[in-house]
């Protein structure tokens, strides 16, 4: 666990983020209020993702009898997710475009091109294409470090849908598992 992510494991991974300043009163929204504050396109993405998660057990059962059909439907689902994520990440109205460095269930580490104040409330749109995850949340900047190549931010989530938090946690664990496998393969191959 990191200092900025005390409640959940976090993992280093590249991703994209769009950030917009919000009022301090919007930091601690209920899940229902967060759903209402969510941009319509993100609400659509959330509905699609929620439907997929409810249908996944059905697909697993179907896989026993029609594996090819289940694979096809899973690929179609992935394709829809990727197209929606690409479309959502092209918003020209975002105040900040950020490069993600680390994420977990409690917050993110980002790099932006201009300073943001500690304590700044933000609406975050996170895009993790390798994990096929797009998340909308509110958070607060907890740490700012200026560097030559930009400004590093630590942002703690203050309002996030439980299902989105679960997706971030699962994605961080999958990435960590992949990194551990790659490290083990390098060791077996004589690399360190």
What is the domain partition of the chain in residue ranges? Answer: 10-188
Going by pLDDT thresholds of 50, 70 and 90, the confidence category of residue 184 is very high
CATH fold group of domain 10-188: Thrombin, subunit H (2.40.10)
Which of the pair, 159 or 6, is modelled with greater confidence?
A: 159
This model's pTM is above 0.85: no
- The region of weakest confidence among 25-34, 81-90, 99-108, 134-143 is 81-90
pLDDT of residue 154: 97
Distance between CA 48 and CA 90 in Å, rounded?
A: 19
Distance between CA 108 and CA 93 in Å, rounded?
A: 21
**DSSP code of 164?**
H
Q: If you average pLDDT over every residue of the chain, what do you get?
A: 84
Which of the pair, 76 or 30, is modelled with greater confidence?
A: 30
Q: Calculate mean pLDDT across residues 106-117.
A: 96
Q: DSSP letter string over 55-103?
A: HHHHHHHHHTT-HHHHHHHHHHHHHHHHHHHHHHTT-TT-SEEEEEEEE
pLDDT of residue 2: 36
């Amino acid at each position: 666990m990191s200092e900025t992510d005390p409640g959940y494991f976090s993992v280093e991974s590249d991703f994209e983020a769009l950030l917009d300043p919000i009022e301090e009163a919007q930091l601690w929204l209920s899940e229902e209020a967060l759903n209402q504050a969510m941009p319509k396109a993100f609400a659509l993405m959330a509905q699609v993702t929620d439907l997929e998660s409810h249908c996944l057990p059905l697909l697993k059962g179907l896989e026993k009898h029609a594996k090819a059909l289940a694979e096809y439907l899973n690929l179609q689902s992935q394709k829809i997710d990727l197209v929606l994520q690409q479309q959502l990440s092209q918003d020209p109205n975002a105040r900040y475009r950020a490069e993600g460095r680390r994420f977990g269930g409690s917050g993110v580490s980002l790099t932006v091109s201009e300073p943001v104040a500690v304590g700044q409330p933000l609406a975050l749109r996170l895009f993790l294409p390798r994990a096929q995850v797009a998340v909308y949340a509110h958070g607060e900047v907890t740490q700012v470090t200026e560097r030559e190549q930009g400004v590093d931010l630590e942002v703690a989530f203050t309002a996030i849908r439980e299902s989105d938090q679960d997706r971030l946690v699962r994605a961080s664990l999958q990435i960590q598992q992949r990194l551990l496998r790659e490290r083990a393969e390098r060791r077996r191959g004589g690399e360190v």
